């Protein structure tokens, strides 16, 4: 979570607000690291805050130690590729826990290359997801997953990248060799574009049709690894898909509940701000779970409930607007008593 600097330029901020690896590519801003524990229904049950330069391995160790106090009977950790190092996997296996981790098939890892070389037939599971288990290791299980909706998004993103690349190299044949080399150098700093660029023997810049064809075969696909021998392929795939609940929580914290930017400087105030945002997220998720509706819809309906103030010669009172049928249903499902229609009634004071 990035924060605005206290003054222009990079300050020497240390301590809780400090510089680290920014996932938003804003290494110029001090940040803190925030962690969430979320149930499979999307309910955030715990929140953590760390200094902005805390390593992933340190995060995993504290979270695992803290949740151990809950005496959970069986734990399967679900994480994305950012936590998939061998050291992290070994640590998560302590106490006979297990893990499910994702990895891009476009990566150059030996596991991804081995998975792509294995033949097999996909099986469709819930949510239009297709899975195929492949044998790579005796210690871990590997699944290739295919999401048709994600495949469409990948194709659209690639089409935009190729169109942009075409515009960049259009007319480059007429450039001097030095200028062409400079253009190639600029494109090479953008991995999304450079993987679709090739250079001819004469130094001309062209779209790489073979690279596009190879990339198309990976649309919507990703690799899962799990240490649990008892889970079915469907359970592994759906377990990892629950990570989307965590991502949805982050989106709501950032864009709905305004977790950032943070203008506090003291650690205790920053922690308090994070906890308040977490409590707000908890309330919205509980409301969504009990009503079966989204928070934006609930808020839109409840915001129509108003209280008017009336004052005259007889006195002063407040009166709420009549409850709509939809508002009554929401309050009933949340077990909240309907607010009183008449509030704060005061007769006019007698003149002395």
pLDDT digits (tens, 9 = 90+) for 91-129: 888 888 898 988 888 776 788 888 888 888 888 887 778
Q: What percent of the chain has pLDDT over 70?
A: 93
pLDDT digits (tens, 9 = 90+) for 276-335: 999 999 999 999 999 999 888 999 999 999 999 998 888 889 999 999 999 999 999 999
- Give me the residue spans of the domains in the chain: 150-216, 304-347
What pLDDT was estimated at residue 259?
79
pLDDT digits (tens, 9 = 90+) for 237-284: 888 877 777 778 878 887 777 777 777 778 888 889 889 999 999 999
Compute φ and ψ for 346, nearest 5 degrees.
Answer: -140, 125
Helix (H, G, I), strand (E, B) or coil at 344: strand
What pLDDT was estimated at residue 252?
84
What pLDDT was estimated at residue 298?
93
Helix (H, G, I), strand (E, B) or coil at 46: strand
Hey, what's the torsion of the CAs at 222, 225, 226, 229, to 10 degrees? 100
pLDDT digits (tens, 9 = 90+) for 153-198: 999 999 999 999 999 999 999 999 999 999 999 999 998 899 999 9
Nearest to 140 by CA among 100, 88, 107: 100
pLDDT: which is higher, 232 or 21: 232
Query: 249: which residues sit within 8 A by CB, 6+ positions away?
Result: 36, 38, 42, 44, 281, 285
Question: Mean pLDDT over residues 126-133, rounded?
Answer: 84
What pLDDT was estimated at residue 4?
53
What pLDDT was estimated at residue 95?
80
- For 337-341, the CB contacts below 8 A with 24+ separation are 339/305
pTM of the entire predicted model? 0.66
What pLDDT was estimated at residue 213?
94
Q: 44: pLDDT confidence band, cut at 50, 70 and 90?
A: confident
Residues 231 and 237: their CA atoms lie apart, in Å, by 10
Question: Mean pLDDT over residues 68-82, rounded?
Answer: 78
Question: Mean pLDDT over residues 338-348, rounded?
Answer: 87
What pLDDT was estimated at residue 170?
94
């Amino acid at each position: 979570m990035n924060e605005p600097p206290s003054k222009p330029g990079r300050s020497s901020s240390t301590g809780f607000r400090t510089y680290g690896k920014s996932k938003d590519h804003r290494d110029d801003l001090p940040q803190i690291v925030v962690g969430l524990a979320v149930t499979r229904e999307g309910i955030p049950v715990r929140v953590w805050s760390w200094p902005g330069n805390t390593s992933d391995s340190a995060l995993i160790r504290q979270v695992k130690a803290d949740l151990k106090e809950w005496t959970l009977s069986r734990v399967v950790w679900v994480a994305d590729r950012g936590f998939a190092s061998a050291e992290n996997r070994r640590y998560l296996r302590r106490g006979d826990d297990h893990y499910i981790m994702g990895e891009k098939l476009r990566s150059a890892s030996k596991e991804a290359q081995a998975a792509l070389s294995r033949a097999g037939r996909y099986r469709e599971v819930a949510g239009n997801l297709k899975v195929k288990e492949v044998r790579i290791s005796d210690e871990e299980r590997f699944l290739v997953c295919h999401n048709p909706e994600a495949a469409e998004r990948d194709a659209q993103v690639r089409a935009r990248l190729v169109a942009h690349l075409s515009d960049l190299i259009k007319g480059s044949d007429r450039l001097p060799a030095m200028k062409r080399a400079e253009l190639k150098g600029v494109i090479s700093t953008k991995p999304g574009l450079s993987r679709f660029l090739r250079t001819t023997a004469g130094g001309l810049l062209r779209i790489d049709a073979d690279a596009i064809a190879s990339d198309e075969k990976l649309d919507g696909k990703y690799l899962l690894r799990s240490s649990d021998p008892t889970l079915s392929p469907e359970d592994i795939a759906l377990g990892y898909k629950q990570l989307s609940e965590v991502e949805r929580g982050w989106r709501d914290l950032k864009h709905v509940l305004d977790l950032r930017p943070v203008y506090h400087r003291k650690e205790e105030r920053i922690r308090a701000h994070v906890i308040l945002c977490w409590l707000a997220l908890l309330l919205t998720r509980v409301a969504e779970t009990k009503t079966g509706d989204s928070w934006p819809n609930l808020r839109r309906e409840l915001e129509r409930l108003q209280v008017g103030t009336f004052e005259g010669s007889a006195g002063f009172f407040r009166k709420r607007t009549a409850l709509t049928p939809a508002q009554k249903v929401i309050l009933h499902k949340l077990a909240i008593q309907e607010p009183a229609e008449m509030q704060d009634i005061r007769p006019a004071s007698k003149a002395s």
